[in-house]
Structure 1
């Protein structure tokens, strides 16, 4: 039975090796689709970052989105949470503060340290950017059935679950 996955058209007849050829082709097709998903996600992230603020690097939107979700924090905690080095994070935080996207205040337990959080303008920009991002995402799945959505959600959950637990 032939099926099509992305640009692959596969014949699902088994081989003398018990179907290993078909399985390998399916695994390769899955890899292609995962790569396409990652590329599409990266492109959407770049667009989102530009929508957030055209004068900032895309990594600034990751910082802003994290602060939007988790609230004010020390720059070192933000750097660790978003997977950036402290120097780059500090530079972006400084730029974001100069654009009035972030507020800062002394840390209550150590006056030498600061806590940064989104300013009102920063929160509005993140919310607007996430709304635009959501529109793009939902436009892609608006015609999908609930069964398709549930199945993809289940399969992605299985793919991304921590198998060591």
Structure 2
């Protein structure tokens, strides 16, 4: 049976299965990498660090929204990460009532190493893929990620 002959419901189920495998793999990597930090951090803390690494200094509210995380849970994580000298907090220059969070220099170096390791693992998985296949997957994922956004 060709891909075009697969019923839509079956194709959607297979897509869901493959996305779950991908997300589980990403969570497992985050948990492994988090344990390698000094001091070790939780998987959830690693996600916060990864978000701050990708967007730079930002408000806690934006991190909570991006990670679909409860604000009080995020507040506790940010406090722990600040005490571990992985995150620094300072008043927002445009509104002193709001706190901005950013990675410390040490945390940025650790994240750079962690993400380089992740990139190596990812490159290994795609070793046999052509540039066209990688571009096609990237485009399809971008389309999926943009779905439902206004």
Q: Taking structure 2 as the reference length, what is the TM-score of the superposition?
A: 0.79
Contact 2:39 2:84 in 1 (8 A): no
What is the CA RMSD across the aligned residues, in angstroms? 2.7
In the alignment, structure 1 residue 57 sits paired with structure 2 residue 42: yes
Residues 15-71 of structure 1 deviation map (CA, whole Å, 9 limit, x = unaligned): xxxx5xx42544443333233223222222322333345632211122112211222
Seen in structure 2, the aligned counterparts of structure 1 residues 34 and 79 have a Cα distance that, compared at 3 Å, is closer
Aligned residues: 148
Higher Cα radius of gyration: 1
Asked whether the 8 Å contact 2:31–2:42 carries over to 1, the reply is: no
More helix by share: 2
Partner in structure 1 of residue 135 of structure 2: 150
- Mapped partners of 2:80, 2:103: distance in 1: 13
Sort the Cα spacing of 1:29 and 1:74 in 2 relative to 1 into closer, same or farther, 3 A: closer
* 8 A contact 2:27–2:43 mirrored in 1: no
Structure 1: tracts of 5 or more residues without a match: 1-10, 13-18
- Deviations, residues 88-111 of structure 1 (Å, cap 9, x unaligned): 111111111111111122232444
Gaps of 5+ in 2: none
TM-score normalised by the chain length of structure 1: 0.73
**CA deviation after TM superposition for structure 1 residue 74, in Å:** 2.5
Shift of 1:86: 1.5
